[in-house]
A and B are shown apart, each in its own frame.
Chain A
Amino acid sequence: MFHSRFSDWPIVTRHQGWPRRLAPADGWRALGEALRADDLDLLGLWGDVECVHAAVLERSGAAPCVLSLPVWDGRVPSLGVFHAPAIRLERALQDLHGIEVTALPDPRPWLDHGHWPTRPARDRDRAQAGFEFLPANGPALHQIPVGPVHAGIIEPGHFRFSAHGEMIVRLEQRLGYTHKGVERLLAGCEVRAGHRLAARTSGDSAVAFAWAYSRAVETALGVQVPARATWLRAVMAELERIANHLGDIGAICNDASFALMHNECGMLREQVLRVVDGCFGHRLMMDCLVPGGVIADLDPAGSGRIGRLLDHIDRRMPELIELYDNTASLQDRTVGTGRLGSELAARFACGGVIGRASGRAFDVRCQLPYAPYDVVMPALTVLQEGDVDARVRVRLAEVSASTALIRRLLAGLPAGRSLLCDLPAPAETRESTALVEGFRGDILAYVRVAPDLRIESCHLRDPSWFQWPVLEAAVEGNIVADFPLCNKSFNCSYSGHDL
């Protein structure tokens, strides 16, 4: 098993929380084979100056750990050869850190489009010239290029369809348009300020990203956050989940031209954002959650407002579910569309709604619970169908699960402080890795903090890294006109992925 395979690799003592182990020279091959044998999930793959790190999770028992391979002569061997989900991460590794990944099955640039002025002109030319879309051969195929500027109010990305008449034969995504250099900006930043950048990695998941970042920082520094703060964080995270799920349910139905659901969900979502604004001072709760606790405490009046909001949502949800259930023309579009098989979802360790709609019963809050979810656990909804309909139904169920969760959180909200005044500086460099469940799925954060409380290195991995690739598979054989429906039902992040 896992421990017998890697337990003789030396532990890095400065890494707090999960164990981090140093791989021997041939260790990457052993890791690759374990990933291929399907008893490990890949949670992330990233690099810094000296090492390439892989976060993995044992399938059977919940035992996450980080494995690191020192970079030798600017090169590391590829994990993508063994395990396809690693390929895009390794392409990004080459682009961002200049580390050469040997024998990478797809060596084309990923985030680097050949425009960064910090690169020598020769490298820029190579990145521009080195990108060709994968071919699709056959009679009467045509290509449809879409983006980066899309027709709606959406983030930018390019989709290249090869279609046979109306049917999609191959979709290839090209992402990286919103690459803002988040990790580069975080390096050297004070830990107290880093949450601002973390929250803006993907603005729709501001709470979840700030929480993942803060948890990594707090574990690295060995800080115990006040209980009230963790409970309030969970209230914020669940409100964020409800708002985003409502927006998604409405938008999916709108992409099937069913505007009524869109309007109903839009109103509900707005009501959530207004209550959130009144209670925490920001509609998207940006910068409300910081290392050491939360900035905005909740007074009894705020608790009351949230309680009334939950009553209202709970009253409306059965109506919306009935509306969805009784509209045959809507289900005609969603049932059987964009089907993602459970085998693929498991291999890519697809998190969030997408995984849970395809039979992958994984939720960080249940499998690797962090406070307060160790006490207040959410009800998990797992469906097997893997189509657009299943993803809508999982979201509908999760809205109600979150309202129930918030009620329990508010009822048991501990008294006391909600923010630590200062963070203790560590005697030597400390690091840690954390996993948090956002509305899209599991967000991974790795942070290394120097003794002067500055960040030496930080990596934030959005759940979309393992969801975008399977969208390419899920739309195969669907008609082009159903792509917006499939895409919206996935609702992957562009900004969170591009970093």
Chain B
Amino acid sequence: MRRLLLKNFFARAVTEPVHAQPTPALEPIGAQLQGVIGRRLGRSLAIRQIDAGSCNGCELEIHALANAYYDVERFGVRFVASPRHADVLLVTGPVTWNMREALERTYAATPAPKWVIAAGDCAAGCGVFRDSPACVGAVAKVVPVDLAIRGCPPPPLELLQGLLLLLDAGSRPG
């Protein structure tokens, strides 16, 4: 272990610079994005991820946000274990009828102010499961959504830019 740690100590960091820039994959929905986040939270964001019926593709890419290349924590973004600690709910998947109640209860357990990001085509518009009788539909049909990030699944860079957009929208006055 020591040899590997020593090697890593002298190695160049792989973490890449990322700047917030609006991309076509991002669709801010609510007007409440502006200002509030920055005033209330500074630049710290606690995220609770909820899989409301996803195929696990989006989860893999959300996991990738934590690897050394994207290192989401450097921006003050943390994934938390309980909705009671969360500012943002990051929801994936078409909401299935079997997960609807769990999503509603998680939303209710999150203290205000809170924001909801619908990540992936399924969460944003129900994707390939649009006609399924087992799905309620997009996340917005169950809880209010503030930002949608398109993609099947959205690559980590676009997820990261979505989160930064949320933070930057917050840091602007007003």
Smallest Cβ-Cβ distance to A180: which chain B residue = B129
Q: Report if B161 contacts A (CB, 8 A).
A: no
B42 at interface, CB cutoff 8 A: no
Q: Are B132 and A156 in contact (CB under 8 A)?
A: no
CA distance A56 to B97 in the complex (A): 33
- Nearest-neighbour CB distance to chain B for A329, whole angstroms, equals 10
Docked-complex contact A155 and B54, CB < 8 angstroms: yes
Is B66 an interface position by the 8 A CB rule? yes
- With a CB–CB cut-off of 8 A, which chain A residues contact B41? none
- List A contacts of B81 (CB < 8 A): 151-152
Could you mark each residue 9-35 of chain A with 1 if its beta carbon is under 8 Å from any beta carbon of chain B, else 0?
000000000000000000000000000
CB pair A155–B59 under 8 Å, yes or no, is: yes
Residues of A with C-beta under 8 A to B68: 263, 266-267, 270
- Docked-complex contact A149 and B106, CB < 8 angstroms: yes
Q: Which residues of A contact B52 (CB under 8 A)?
A: 156
Q: Is B100 an interface residue (CB 8 A)?
A: yes
Choose among A115, A118, A153 the residue that contacts B79 (Cβ–Cβ < 8 A). A153
A200 x B55 contact (CB < 8 A): yes
With A181-B129, A202-B56 as given contacts, are A116 and B97 in contact (CB-CB < 8 Å)? yes
Query: How many angstroms from the CA of A203 to the CA of B92 in the assembled complex?
Result: 12
Q: How many residues of A contact B (CB 8 A)?
A: 50
Question: Contact at A204–B56, with CB atoms within 8 Å?
Answer: yes
A184 to B134: give the CA distance in the assembly, Å.
9
Bound complex: CA A176 to CA B94 (Å)? 14
A196 nearest CB neighbor, chain B only: B128
Minimum CB–CB distance for B133 against chain A, Å: 5
Tell me the chain A residues, 140-167 only, with Cβ under 8 Å from chain B: 148-149, 151-156
A260: contacting residue among B1, B59, B62, B93, CB under 8 A = B1
Contact of A185 among B51, B101, B132 (CB under 8 A): B132
Checking B55, B67, B127 against A495 with a beta-carbon cut-off of 8 angstroms, the contacting residue is: B55
Any chain A CB within 8 A of the CB of B61?
yes
Determine if A286 is an interface residue (Cβ-Cβ < 8 Å): yes
A283: B residues at CB distance < 8 A: 61, 155
Residue of A nearest to B101 (CB): A115
Determine if B93 and A178 form an interchain contact, defined as CB atoms under 8 angstroms apart.
yes
Docked-complex contact A155 and B99, CB < 8 angstroms: no
Is B128 in contact with A203, judged by CB distance below 8 angstroms?
Answer: no
B57 pairs with A180, CB closer than 8 A: no
The count of A-to-B residue pairs whose CB atoms sit within 8 angstroms is 143
Q: Which A residues are in CB contact (< 8 Å) with B129?
A: 180-181, 185, 200
Kindly state whether residue B63 has any CB partner on chain A within 8 Å.
yes
Q: Across the interface, do A178 and B53 meet the contact criterion of CB distance under 8 Å?
A: yes
Q: List, in ascending order, chain A residues with CB within 8 A of B56's CB.
A: 155, 202-204, 493-495
Does A326 contact B96, Cβ atoms closer than 8 Å?
Answer: no
Q: Please, which residue of chain B has its CB at the minimum distance from the CB of A175? A: B98
**What chain B residues lie within 8 Å of A115 (beta carbons)?**
97-98, 100-101
Quick check: B60 and A284 within 8 Å, CB to CB?
yes
Given contacts A201-B55, A284-B60, A495-B54, is CB(A113)–CB(B5) below 8 Å? Answer: no
Q: B residues within 8 A CB of A121?
A: none
| Contact indicator per residue, chain A 263-296, by CB within 8 Å of chain B (1) or not (0) | 1101101100100010000011010000000000
Tell me, in angstroms, the Cα distance from A81 to B32 when the chains sit together: 57
Q: Which residues of B1-54 have CB atoms within 8 Å of chain A's CB atoms?
A: 1, 4-5, 14, 49-54
**Inter-chain contacts of A439 with B (CB < 8 A):** none
What are 27 A-B contacts with C-beta separation under 8 Å? A113-B98, A115-B100, A117-B97, A117-B133, A155-B51, A155-B54, A156-B51, A156-B52, A156-B53, A177-B99, A177-B102, A178-B53, A180-B135, A184-B132, A184-B133, A185-B132, A200-B57, A201-B55, A202-B56, A203-B59, A260-B1, A267-B68, A270-B67, A283-B155, A286-B57, A323-B1, A495-B53
Give me the interface of A with B, judged by CB distance under 8 Å: 111, 113, 115-118, 148-149, 151-156, 176-181, 184-185, 196-197, 200-204, 206, 247, 260, 263-264, 266-267, 269-270, 273, 277, 283-284, 286, 319, 323, 326-327, 493-495
Q: Which 6 A-B pairs have the closest CB atoms?
A: A203-B57, A181-B134, A266-B67, A203-B55, A151-B81, A115-B97
